[in-house]
């Protein structure tokens, strides 16, 4: 049975086709695509892709895992447990159908976003003066509970808008928690909201998601914000480390409820 998102009319490229490089912004993501195309009949595990990345690029890490997921920006890639040993595998099923039309953002909201946030990409800083076309995008996707309001909109160039869509698609399992955190106004509140969401689910929070919602590149290290939540609010936050398929995964767990909120940390740290 054909997957509903697969464009069954479009033939897959050969793994050696140079056009594969043009689909992605990084060589590692293009190599991940080629690897999945080569392994159509024997979908690889995460460990096999990491070994491939190590062989080709001389390194493999958490970013290498993300590159594998970025293939979903153009192709339907199904992750599932393999029969027998239960290991997770990635199976490329075909080209992804053209995305449906974006949710309409009114001209007034677009003008407000450009007027207050600037006519430049919020990720790379490029804009019309560089020959770059900008788009107004939802910070937290609507599918994660994000609303079409000024506070949840930002200008992005086409390249980073598409890259963000592919990256967020790989995080759909955590979408509601991320969407709940992203609209909060300060890094402390965003991190705190994320920790609370995962606590309510009975899970620890991956450090990559903390860095994602912190959006704190100009002010400091998100891990410093965690320390501030610990010491200013007295939050009981514990770090966990474990190695999976040769990669060390770091998560943080908020273990009890406190009266003080993350908003309090924002006022104390300013």
For residue 99, give the nearest of 69, 118, 73, 122 by alpha carbon.
Answer: 73
In a domain, 11, yes or no: no
Average pLDDT over residues 197-215: 84
Model confidence over 114-136: pLDDT tens digits?
Answer: 999 999 998 899 999 998 889 89
CA atoms within 13 A on the CB side of 1: 2
User: Residues 236-239: contacts with CB within 8 Å, 24+ apart?
Assistant: 237/195
Residues paired with 141 in a beta bridge:
none
Full residue range of the structural domain in which residue 162 is found = 107-169
In a domain, 90, yes or no: yes
Q: Is residue 208 a contact partner of residue 104, using CB atoms and an 8 Å limit?
A: no
What number of residues does the chain have?
A: 270
Residue 244 neighbours by CB distance under 10 Å: 10
Residue 29 neighbours by CB distance under 10 Å: 24
In a domain, 136, yes or no: yes
In what order do the strands lie in the sheet containing 247-254?
205-206, 247-254, 237-244
Residues 218 and 189 in one domain: yes
More confident residue, 172 or 197: 197
Domain tally, the chain: 3
Q: Is residue 23 a contact partner of residue 74, using CB atoms and an 8 Å limit?
A: yes
Residues 260 and 210 in one domain: yes
Residues 199 and 239 in one domain: yes
In a domain, 247, yes or no: yes
Average pLDDT over residues 94-101: 67
In a domain, 100, yes or no: no
Percent of the chain whose predicted confidence (pLDDT) is above 70: 84
In a domain, 12, yes or no: no
The pLDDT value given to residue 101: 40
Cite the DSSP H helix spans in 58-170.
62-70, 107-117, 158-169
Confidence of residue 143 (pLDDT cuts 50, 70, 90): low
More confident residue, 100 or 231: 231
In sequence order, the 6+-apart residues with CB closer than 8 A to the CB of 267 are none
Residues 253 and 210 in one domain: yes
The pLDDT value given to residue 186: 83
Residues 73 and 144 in one domain: no
């Amino acid at each position: 049975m054909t997957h509903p998102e697969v464009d069954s009319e479009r033939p897959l490229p050969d793994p050696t086709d140079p056009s594969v490089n043009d689909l992605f912004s990084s060589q590692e993501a293009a190599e991940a695509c080629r690897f999945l195309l080569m392994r159509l009949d024997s979908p690889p595990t995460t460990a096999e892709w990491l070994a491939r990345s190590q062989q080709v690029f001389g390194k493999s890490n958490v970013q290498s895992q993300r590159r594998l997921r970025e293939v979903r920006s153009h192709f339907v890639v199904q992750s599932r447990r393999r029969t027998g040993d239960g290991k997770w595998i990635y199976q490329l099923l075909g080209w992804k159908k053209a995305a449906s039309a974006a949710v309409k953002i009114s001209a007034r909201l677009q003008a407000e976003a450009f007027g207050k946030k600037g006519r430049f990409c919020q990720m790379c800083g490029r804009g019309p003066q560089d020959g770059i076309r900008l788009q107004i995008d939802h910070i937290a996707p609507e599918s994660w509970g994000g609303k079409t309001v000024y506070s949840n909109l930002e200008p992005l160039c086409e390249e980073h808008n598409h890259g963000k869509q592919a990256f967020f698609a790989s995080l759909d399992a955590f979408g509601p928690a991320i969407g709940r955190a992203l609209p909060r106004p300060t890094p402390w509140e965003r991190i705190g909201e994320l920790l609370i969401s995962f606590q309510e689910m009975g899970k620890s929070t991956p450090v990559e998601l903390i860095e994602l919602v912190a959006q704190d590149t100009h002010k400091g290290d998100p891990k410093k914000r965690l320390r501030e939540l610990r010491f200013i609010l007295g939050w009981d936050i514990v770090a966990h480390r474990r190695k999976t398929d040769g990669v060390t995964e770091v998560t943080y767990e908020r273990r009890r409820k406190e009266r003080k909120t993350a908003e309090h940390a924002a006022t104390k740290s300013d």
